[in-house]
Chains A and B, each alone.
Chain A
Amino acid sequence: MKILVAVKRVIDYNVQVRVKEDGSGVVTENVKMSSNPPDDNAIEEAVKIKEAGKATEIVAITVGEEKSQETVRKALAVGADRGILIKTEGTVEPLAVAKVLQKIVDKEKPDLVFMGKQAIDDDCNQTGQMLSALLNWPQATFASKIEIKDKVLEVTREIDEGLETIEVNVPAIVTCDLRLNEPRYASLPNIMKAKKKPLEILTASDLGIDTTPRVQQIKVEEPPKRKAGIKVASVAELVSKLKNEAKVI
């Protein structure tokens, strides 16, 4: 089985983002970037499947600017066999990413495509579902457990009401929840080895995909600030304030 894993480079999840004064976006210059956390779960799962002898090759792919190579290299250090960077400029929407991935799937013919359930920057939660629609493959979204049974995947999904289990035939798309596994760290020797692994670079136009955004970001602003609260000295004071001042209990 061959697994394609899609990863994205985003602002590190611990960074308190700042909105640009001109409202054109958030500040990304000199800000720490990392791989998107649920994508780490996707890579980890693929590597585990390979270690269990159920996958033969893992290909890590990203769509983004030149620097996104770092994110692919990280995936290679964790255990992916080779990487692909599809170079683009500016914002690329999930639909365009899905179209790019569709082209790569046509070429690479993986049995499974893994990716995170959402990117923590645009918070869209769309790409996996879109790719699955374009390929007319089954989709297993928000996966927290995956069992491979020959040509069938049994996937436990995180839903609002609890958990749901579905079976999807291979080939399939799986989007990973944070609860799927505990991503490993890349060791220094593996980071060194990853530098020698093959990384193919293409552009979206090589693939004939137009990545012009269809949804225009008119303005980005800071959310309304909450008024500073007060500290209370005792539980009795807290309950009294909630009852008499805030009137919520």
Chain B
Amino acid sequence: MSVLLIVEHNNKEVRPFTLNAITAASQIDPDVHVLLIGNNCEEVAKSLSEMSAVKKVLHAEAAHYENYLAENFAPLVVKVSENYTHIVSSANTFGKNLMPRIAAHLDTSQVSDIIKVISPDTFLRPIYAGNAFATVKSSDTKKCVTIRPTSFDPCETSGGSAQIEKIEPTEEFTSSKFIKREEVKSDRPELGTARVVVSGGRGMQNGENFKLITDIADKLNAAIGASRAAVDAGYISNEHQVGQTGKVVVPDLYIAVGISGAIQHLAGMKESKIIVAINKDGEAPIFSVADYGLEADLFEALPQFLEELNKLNSIQK
């Protein structure tokens, strides 16, 4: 029994959520092999081989693997899958896009977004926007599983010396074509992995007012989040959205400002260690999950908050 993990990377480095997925994979079975599909990504193969949890690196290279189209990746995974009991990947947009395509080719019913490995065939996963946890048991001989990255610690990136095995590429799928990617560059920590997240909602009233949040985020070295309402109103771009249909975050500190706390938003942040709510509506549902609630007008509270932070001698980074 071995686990095959599909690596998410950008041909230069492994993307962080793969490290969490490797941890989950090794809980299913310690014999974790990773599959690297890309273009000119020898460096990525090398870094994977150095991870102590990785027992073997399978490496396929071709120009049509450059932009990780699922249509190109899936046939290769299917080809390699023969010797594996589990095919796993992270449950972010990369894995969500790819894994079901593999599962259907293998005639397997996929288990999405697991938060706990109970046994090699039994997993815990949230349903209904995280309002219920389901224990599910897969009866398929080959299991396709995606991992909620924030539920597992990242694996060690050193201490290993796995063998790298070259795999022949599969043919190009010509009916899909990559055009462009617009990545949002930022000096801030990534939303999915940040230790502190400061989020704004509809209460921010406009995009300019997000400056109040940015200032505090700068001070706390925090990532910036948003509710769907704030994204839809155009206050901030969509990759900041936290929630059922956005990102799931589990920071040490989550500060929700002007966010009422709809079910769909809570689904993305209620596992945070400490939750702070700043809202002028004392009845807002966000207060029912907040460890510390401040009932106040955010336009008064945020500048004061920054002032108080400035008074501190030191702030944890």
Q: Which residues of A contact B (CB under 8 A)?
A: 11, 13-14, 16-17, 19, 26, 38, 93-96, 98, 117-118, 120-134, 137-139, 141-142, 144, 154, 157-169, 172, 177-179, 213-223, 226-232, 234-236, 238-239, 241-243, 246-249
Contacts and interface: CB of A to CB of B under 8 A. Distances in A.
Nearest to B312: A243
A95 B108 contact: yes
B104 A130 contact: yes
Contacts of A124: 110, 112
Contacts of B282: 231
Contacts of A26: 127-128, 131-132
Interface stretch (B38-46, B55-63, B204-212, B287-295): B287-295
B171 interface: no
Contact of B244 (A123, A228, A236): A123
In terms of DSSP, what is the predominant structure of the interface of chain B? mixed
B93 A232 contact: no
Most A CB within 10 A of own CB, among B71, B104, B137, B305: B104
Contacts of A11: 128
A235 B183 contact: no
Contacts of B107: 95
Most A CB within 10 A of own CB, among B178, B183, B264, B291: B291
Contact of A215 (B99, B102, B138): B138
A133 B74 contact: yes
Contacts of A234: 294
A75 to B, nearest CB: 20
Contacts of A164: 178, 180-182
Q: For this complex, into which size category does the number of interface residues on chain B fall? A: 35 or more
In terms of DSSP, what is the predominant structure of the interface of chain A? mixed
A46 to B, nearest CB: 20
B270 interface: yes
A230 B41 CA distance: 51
Nearest to A170: B175
B274 A248 contact: yes
A216 B123 CA distance: 11
B110 A94 contact: yes
B230 interface: no
Contacts of B135: 217-221
A238 B312 contact: no
Nearest to A98: B104
A13 to B, nearest CB: 7
Contact of A129 (B100, B183, B287, B312): B100
Given A130-B101, A166-B69, A235-B305, A215 B111 contact: yes
Interface string B125-150: 01111111111111110000000000
Given A129-B70, A164-B182, A158 B139 contact: no
Given A169-B175, A178-B245, A138 B100 contact: no
B104 A162 contact: no
Contacts of B292: 229-232, 238, 241-242, 246
Nearest to A158: B238
13 contacts: A13-B263, A17-B131, A19-B131, A126-B103, A129-B100, A131-B104, A169-B176, A220-B127, A228-B288, A230-B293, A234-B294, A246-B291, A248-B273
B182 A120 contact: no
